[in-house]
Amino acid sequence: MDVSLQSLANGLDTIWVLLCAALVFFMEAGFAALEAGFVRSKSSINIIMKVIMDCTVGMLGYWIIGFAIMYGIDKFGLIGTNGIAVRGTLDHLGLNIPVDAFWIFQAAFAIAVATIVSGAVAERMKFGPYIIFSFLATALIYPVAGHWIWGGGWLGQLGMKDFAGSAAVHAVGGWASLAAVMVLEPRLGKYEKDGSANVLLAHNLPLAALGAFILWFGWFGFNPGSSLSGLDLNIARIAVTTNLAAAAGGTVGTLYTLWKWGKPDPSMTINGALAGLVAVTGGTAYVSHASAIIIGSIAGILVVWAVGLFDKKGIDDPVGAIAVHGVNGTFGAVAVGLFAQDGGLFTGGGTHLLLVQIIGVLSVSLWAFGSTYVIFKLLKAAVGIRVTAEEEIEGMDVVEHGIAAYNNPRPTQDGVGQAYIKSDLVAE
Amino acid sequence: MDVSLQSLANGLDTIWVLLCAALVFFMEAGFAALEAGFVRSKSSINIIMKVIMDCTVGMLGYWIIGFAIMYGIDKFGLIGTNGIAVRGTLDHLGLNIPVDAFWIFQAAFAIAVATIVSGAVAERMKFGPYIIFSFLATALIYPVAGHWIWGGGWLGQLGMKDFAGSAAVHAVGGWASLAAVMVLEPRLGKYEKDGSANVLLAHNLPLAALGAFILWFGWFGFNPGSSLSGLDLNIARIAVTTNLAAAAGGTVGTLYTLWKWGKPDPSMTINGALAGLVAVTGGTAYVSHASAIIIGSIAGILVVWAVGLFDKKGIDDPVGAIAVHGVNGTFGAVAVGLFAQDGGLFTGGGTHLLLVQIIGVLSVSLWAFGSTYVIFKLLKAAVGIRVTAEEEIEGMDVVEHGIAAYNNPRPTQDGVGQAYIKSDLVAE
Amino acid sequence: MDVSLQSLANGLDTIWVLLCAALVFFMEAGFAALEAGFVRSKSSINIIMKVIMDCTVGMLGYWIIGFAIMYGIDKFGLIGTNGIAVRGTLDHLGLNIPVDAFWIFQAAFAIAVATIVSGAVAERMKFGPYIIFSFLATALIYPVAGHWIWGGGWLGQLGMKDFAGSAAVHAVGGWASLAAVMVLEPRLGKYEKDGSANVLLAHNLPLAALGAFILWFGWFGFNPGSSLSGLDLNIARIAVTTNLAAAAGGTVGTLYTLWKWGKPDPSMTINGALAGLVAVTGGTAYVSHASAIIIGSIAGILVVWAVGLFDKKGIDDPVGAIAVHGVNGTFGAVAVGLFAQDGGLFTGGGTHLLLVQIIGVLSVSLWAFGSTYVIFKLLKAAVGIRVTAEEEIEGMDVVEHGIAAYNNPRPTQDGVGQAYIKSDLVAE
């Protein structure tokens, strides 16, 4: 084989990006397991089906038009203008790797944004309208925000730093979730008439925890892979700051709930670690180990506080998507302006970067919230977005898909159970 | 360290192949979860045990003799003749990477073929004979077919193109499954006396879906890794066509069942995506993005049609292995002759490649079907392949392994259940 | 980009180590699923929470001080003396890769040691003291042993070979588990008054099996990644010996229980494969394919024997951690002295290496046992390490975390179950 230094460098970058893309794609399995585990069993395969829709319909949406809007040649700092179906001249991207490698990595990010919303609308949103939303999330909502920051748009031009997307991915997904939930309204039974909130118990915490582990694993691709180069000397530091923030977030989430309620809450431990990951994602390449730990620690408190706040305010988010991704994505984007070794307020860089970060994350958050709000209102008017009360009580799985998530084990005739379970010979 | 361009290129290719081998191996976890989730709980750990047998006994079978038959020096275009225990002169392979790296990647493919069959024979095949079959699948059935296409055999000599194995892996596994099921006969209760089919409900759809995600994730290694080189400029395209076909298959499978039955069926969504992956596997390196989407879309319809067809014809395949791997592996091999940018009928390449592909996939399918049929008939005569009716009703888990898959949770005394569950202090 | 041969080599090694670190980290998901599946449902989220504590508190412990003790500049062959918070001069490590890449890989090993213990103390150890232990395991227990072998300490100076840690990781984790269990005492109901043992049934074998697959998958990083270089020509062989030992261990574990009890036991099949992996870990880079199969086969028998032995001796290890990691880690370290192609007794190398290996593994095992014993005794005296009998009967999940692992499905009013399950509108 003919090899040159340049072809080796390109090959190295290509396998790095492809393997990281695989890890980021695998986060969909993590989201699916986390969300399914956190909701009630009667609606658990429905939420997984929605995540699969992100991977299928959503991926096609990003292929058809989303990528073009995000990474096409910039117009007015607002939008990309070529690259439909990943075709045409994309030299302006200045890639060392094949466009296809870049695309698959970006596509895995795009579907993650849609999937963040899937958790927030769990247990009550109709399946059909969700498919339409998933397509629009990857075809329009995320690409516009992504263009502003990463695609040559006005926020990137302003100097905004968002390494792997605390703002572009997580704040966008999180605040889109808030809009969706506001239009969709809470699940039946979540709130009493006096406004007090009930806990609708997670049906399978081991599944949810497995999902969290998969997400953390996927973050080894999400953050370091965003270098787009295996020759970037910074990727090792990125891997470490990512993990330290997760460790700090999980530690603090656990200890904080232990102190507050006397018992460490599994969902807060899990969401604490995820909040740390989300918050460090923007600055992972720019901050020190110690700063990553501080960022993660703050995230671990923020997420507990935010989950409680939304719960009180009548915002019913079954998996904590808004608290994890919205609040901590926003915090993470701002944290870059505080902790970045080059330009952060706390490292002597003054307030310029901080202001840019605040403007940036507010802008994409408003865009995500507003566009999602409009889309959900339109969907509600056009086709309806919510199943009927009867259907919601019955459960989304049987109503939407004609089958329950779990059809065994089932109790035996005596009602007491045995060490093993006999199924019917003939079911259905 | 002394490094040269050549040693760097070899190192790059080696880590690429090893990491892709890990991904392909991990597909066994995907198969195990998918198959266990799709069957009834009473036989669910049994099917996982069979998958583990593929990873253990099957892997040893490929080490002892399978690899030699597949990749040894060719004799008559039919069979390899050296390389037992991965020893001896293997220079004819012309590898840039250590033979061991090549072997582990290939071994992960071999065990996948055996595992495809494990799903089709679920819930009724005895464990002991399955171990023997698993050994023969990796030691003989797959290696012969693989030799014909990839190991220097007559189909490769004819010009057959099967990049990552729509034919060599999936059609072989799928049609072997058909033979196995025909000898084994349907599960009790699957068919009424009038021939109408019952649905024996999947016991754990979240588990099955998690398996599907793992399989999709593993395909990031299965297809791009088949390049055997991280310097192959094509690997990025391969990753994209693979994913687009999966996305299209899942989309079409969902929408087709929504249109046909009014409710999108989770198993068809899952199998639609998998069918897209299977179908694109042969041509992933040769087709355009758009062709990949077309291939995946057709696969998404084919799989729904084929599942229904086999169900009607009395072929009881609990997980849809024949429809996913047999039908779509065959279609995928033919699709290379239709869509390949170099030589495909639809791209102006005429019918030559198409004919070669048809001959090729028919040949390996016949071999797989015939050899498996004979092996199952012999096993049936020699040791019996099916548990008794009483055992089948009882469930494979307790009968074969002395333990149920799930031993908790169990209902509480009042028979109504509580938010938490007390187990006995002393079990068994 | 400016690239040189050296920067390419460093980049190649860096992405290799980072991706392998991701795989090793993902083993925590495997441990969590395996352990949760093997215990009773009432204590299953508690054990997962403990594994998450290893990933969070434990990771911070290794960052703060553990890494310094393990890899700081050696003093007296006993302990490292710099590198707190991964700072300061670490040139003595002579790394080709960034220190951060080295650290994250090592950190994933450190938390694995703590996690091995989490399985052995399942279902009865209080959560708070476990957090303290987890911190000490990664901050002190493992780092000291690791320093002796890998960090420039006296065992490495003696010539001990322990490629990826049969001794440093697995024997240390396994014998620490024994000490912990001895102080903690058996679960209620495990032993009758006459000393006979009960089986407290695994609650979710599919989950446990999925965990085992994830662990096996992670071992593709654990062993090959320990080369710390993608240019090490040995990494392909390492991948193969690792897999062959696992295959042999799983095969033998299955066939041995089939022969002994008439039914292959899922937990022994799983633990057989894991035992093969543990045992080959020390010599994976030094032994032939055939030796790896022999090592794995012996491990498959050893683990069955050891599980039975500890059970009889009143050592209640719910997941078999001592048998898998302690016994087979020790055997694996010794096996290096028997099978290593360079210096092994059976390959004509005499007894020198064998003696060094025996001394080495005994030393680190004694250290791990002794230090853990003291820590558990101190914790017991200071804060108590065990929940009350009432709490243990109730289950760790509700007692420690206020929520059960599974809150659905639950039986319906008629006590017979249905194909789908209605949850209450309002839970809690």
Task: Give the tens place of pLDDT for each residue, A101-151.
Answer: 999 999 999 999 999 999 999 999 999 999 999 999 999 999 999 999 999
Secondary-structure percent of chain A, ordered helix, strand, coil, rounded to 5: 70, 0, 30
Looking at the domain assignment, is residue C67 inside a domain?
A: yes
Residue A186's CB is within 10 A of a number of other CB atoms, namely: 18
What pLDDT shows up at residue C3? 87
How far is the CA of B397 from the CAs of B26, B49, B199, in angstroms? Answer: 24, 10, 20
* ipTM summary value: 0.95
Cβ pair B239:A25 closer than 8 A: no
Q: Which residues of chain C have pLDDT under 70?
A: 1, 408-428
All residues at 6 or more sequence positions from A331 whose CB lies less than 8 Å from its CB, including other chains: A166, A279, A295, A298, A299, A302
Same domain flag for B338 and B415: no
Q: Is the peptide bond before A224 cis (omega within 30 degrees of 0)?
A: no
User: Which residues is C197 bridged to in the sheet?
Assistant: C191
C-alpha distance from B193 to closest chain C C-alpha (Å): 23
pLDDT tens-digit series, residues A238-257: 999 999 999 999 999 999 99
What pLDDT shows up at residue A1? 53
pLDDT tens-digit series, residues B257-310: 999 999 999 999 999 999 999 999 999 999 999 999 999 999 999 999 999 999
Residue B358 to residue B336: CA distance in whole angstroms? 10
C-alpha distance from A88 to closest chain C C-alpha (Å): 25
Nearest chain B residue to A422 by CA distance is: B394
Cβ pair C217:B25 closer than 8 A: yes
pLDDT tens-digit series, residues A316-364: 999 999 999 999 999 999 999 999 999 999 999 999 999 999 999 999 9
Same domain flag for C407 and C289: no
Cβ pair C206:B56 closer than 8 A: no
Mean pLDDT of A166-178: 98
**Which pLDDT band holds residue B411 (cuts at 50, 70, 90)?**
very low
Across chain B, what does the average pLDDT equal? 94
Same domain flag for C297 and C414: no
**Which pLDDT band holds residue B222 (cuts at 50, 70, 90)?**
very high
Containing structural domain, residue B400 = 395-427
Neighbours of chain C (3+ CB pairs under 8 A): A, B
The structure tokens listed for A310 are 């939304």
Looking at the domain assignment, is residue B213 inside a domain?
A: yes
The yes-or-no verdict on residue B425 having pLDDT over 70 is no
Report how many helices (DSSP H) and strands (DSSP E) chain A contains, helices first: 18, 2
What pLDDT shows up at residue A3? 87
Helix axes B142-150, B172-184, angle to 10 degrees: 150
Same domain flag for B122 and B266: yes
What pLDDT shows up at residue A422? 37
Looking at the domain assignment, is residue C131 inside a domain?
A: yes
Chain A hits for C85, CB-CB cut-off 8 Å, are: 289-290
Contact C55, C114 (CB under 8 A): no
Residue C416 to residue A413: CA distance in whole angstroms? 6
Looking at the domain assignment, is residue A192 inside a domain?
A: no
* Surface of A (42-81) touching B: CB under 8 A: 44-45, 48-49, 52-53, 55-57, 59-60, 63
User: What's the domain count of chain B?
Assistant: 2
Same domain flag for B9 and B56: yes
Residue A382 to residue A379: CA distance in whole angstroms? 5
Same domain flag for A381 and A403: no
**Which pLDDT band holds residue B407 (cuts at 50, 70, 90)?**
confident
With an 8 Å Cβ cutoff, is B408 touching chain C? yes
With an 8 Å Cβ cutoff, is C416 touching chain B? no
Residue B18 to residue C17: CA distance in whole angstroms? 13
Contact C398, B421 (CB under 8 A): no
Range of weakest confidence among A212-226, A307-321, C410-424: C410-424
Nearest chain C residue to A427 by CA distance is: C419
Residue A256's CB is within 10 A of a number of other CB atoms, namely: 21
Residue B139 to residue C427: CA distance in whole angstroms? 54
What pLDDT shows up at residue B426? 30
What pLDDT shows up at residue A407? 85
The residue with tokens 């991706």 is C19
Looking at the domain assignment, is residue B192 inside a domain?
A: no
Residue B238 to residue B218: CA distance in whole angstroms? 14
Nearest by CB to B420, which of C202, C231, C398?
Answer: C398
Residue A157 to residue C117: CA distance in whole angstroms? 52
Same domain flag for B206 and B110: yes
What pLDDT shows up at residue C56? 98
Burial C88-104 (b: 16+ CB within 10 A, else e): eebeeeebbbbbbbbbb
CATH of the domain at C214: 1.10.3430.10
C-alpha distance from A158 to closest chain B C-alpha (Å): 32
Chain A hits for C98, CB-CB cut-off 8 Å, are: 233, 236-237
Listed residues A354, A369, A386: the one ending a domain: A386
Chain A hits for B216, CB-CB cut-off 8 Å, are: 25, 55
pLDDT tens-digit series, residues B353-364: 999 999 999 999
Chain A hits for C411, CB-CB cut-off 8 Å, are: 410-411, 415
Across chain A, what does the average pLDDT equal? 94
Same domain flag for B338 and B417: no
Contact B280, B250 (CB under 8 A): no
C-alpha distance from B57 to closest chain C C-alpha (Å): 6
Amino acid sitting at position A207 = L
Cβ pair A251:C56 closer than 8 A: yes
* Surface of A (1-20) touching C: CB under 8 A: 5-6, 8-9, 12, 15-16, 19
With an 8 Å Cβ cutoff, is B246 touching chain A? yes
Looking at the domain assignment, is residue B194 inside a domain?
A: no
The structure tokens listed for B148 are 């014909």
The yes-or-no verdict on residue B412 having pLDDT over 80 is no
Q: Which of left, alpha, beta for B210 (phi over 0: left; psi -120 to 50: alpha)? A: alpha
Same domain flag for C402 and C382: no
Nearest chain B residue to A411 by CA distance is: B411
Cβ pair A55:B216 closer than 8 A: yes
User: Which residues is B197 bridged to in the sheet?
Assistant: B191
With an 8 Å Cβ cutoff, is C198 touching chain A? no
Looking at the domain assignment, is residue C196 inside a domain?
A: no
Looking at the domain assignment, is residue C197 inside a domain?
A: no
What pLDDT shows up at residue C307? 97
With an 8 Å Cβ cutoff, is A26 touching chain C? no
What pLDDT shows up at residue A408? 61
DSSP string, C166-196: IIIIIIHHHHHHHHHHHHH-PPTTSB-TTSP
Report how many helices (DSSP H) and strands (DSSP E) chain B contains, helices first: 18, 2
pLDDT tens-digit series, residues A386-414: 999 999 999 999 999 999 999 864 433 33
Residue A298 to residue A381: CA distance in whole angstroms? 40
What pLDDT shows up at residue C416? 32
CB half-sphere exposure, C65, CA atoms < 13 A: 11
Same domain flag for A108 and A213: yes
How many Cβ pairs closer than 8 A exist between chain B and C? 236
The yes-or-no verdict on residue B67 having pLDDT over 90 is yes
Cβ pair A104:B236 closer than 8 A: yes
Same domain flag for B61 and B11: yes
* Surface of A (108-147) touching B: CB under 8 A: 127-128, 131
With an 8 Å Cβ cutoff, is B107 touching chain C? yes
* 3-state SS, residue C406: strand
Residue B4 to residue A99: CA distance in whole angstroms? 28
pLDDT tens-digit series, residues B117-176: 999 999 999 999 999 999 999 999 999 999 999 999 999 999 999 999 999 999 999 999
Chain A hits for B260, CB-CB cut-off 8 Å, are: none
Same domain flag for A345 and A290: yes
